[in-house]
């Protein structure tokens, strides 16, 4: 929930981004094969959103979570490995055209990978992070600022 001063805590920010990306994957899934230009545009939008999201998680959220407790180390390690798989697919998708073999399949698999990752973060990592003595508001502000930098550069 956004606070009156416009701030948002780290977990709320990440959860909001999860919802936005899921909605984009759903829109992609409903496009016809003929909508090649729209598909490419939306797939690139998904990829850029995921690049921004993984960057702020890896630069800010994960290190803070890892530092706060040894209990979160395995969760963070697994998340980083999942990010690496997603980034590999993202790079492939961004190099491709919607008419290429496996284009739709790669976007679909990326969506499934992201869905699995989101479920683990929201059901395991986020509740654990809420228990830690982290300043989620300050983290959220730092992440939001970094998000704006990344989006301005895309």
Instruction: Kindly report the CATH number assigned to the domain that includes residue 114.
Output: 1.20.120.520
Q: What is the extent of the structural domain holding 122? A: 10-153
> 3-state DSSP call for residue 6?
coil
* pLDDT given at position 5: 58
Count: domains in the chain: 1
Q: Is a pLDDT exceeding 60 seen at residue 35?
A: yes
Note whether 52 and 73 are within 8 A (CB). no
User: What pTM, to 2 d.p., does this model score?
Assistant: 0.92
- Which DSSP helix (H) or strand (E) runs through 137? helix 136-153
Mean pLDDT of 19-44: 94
Residue 122 lies in a domain: yes
Residue 37 lies in a domain: yes
Residue 123 lies in a domain: yes
Residue 55 lies in a domain: yes
Residue 80 lies in a domain: yes
Q: How far apart are CA 96 and CA 40, in angstroms?
A: 9
Q: Is a pLDDT exceeding 50 seen at residue 2?
A: no
Residue 2 lies in a domain: no
- What is the token pair recorded at 136? 């989620």
Residue 4 lies in a domain: no
Q: How does DSSP assign 48-66, residue by residue? A: HHHHHHHHHIIIIIHHHHH
Give counts: helices (H), strands (E), the chain. Answer: 7, 0
Q: How confident is the model at residue 34 (pLDDT cuts 50, 70, 90)?
A: confident
Residue 5 lies in a domain: no
Identify the DSSP state of 7: -
């Amino acid at each position: 929930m956004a606070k009156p001063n416009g701030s948002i805590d780290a977990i709320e920010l990440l959860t909001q981004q999860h919802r936005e990306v899921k909605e984009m994957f759903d829109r992609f899934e409903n496009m016809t094969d003929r909508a090649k230009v729209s598909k490419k545009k939306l797939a690139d939008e998904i990829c850029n959103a995921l690049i921004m999201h993984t960057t702020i998680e890896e630069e800010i959220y994960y290190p803070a979570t890892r530092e706060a407790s040894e209990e979160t180390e395995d969760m963070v390690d697994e998340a980083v490995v999942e990010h690496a798989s997603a980034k590999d697919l993202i790079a492939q998708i961004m190099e491709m055209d919607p008419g290429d073999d496996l284009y739709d399949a790669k976007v679909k698999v990326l969506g499934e990978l992201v869905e699995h990752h989101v479920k683990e973060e929201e059901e395991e990592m986020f509740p654990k992070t809420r228990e830690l003595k982290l300043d989620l508001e300050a983290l959220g502000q730092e992440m939001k600022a970094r998000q704006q930098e990344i989006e301005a550069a895309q």
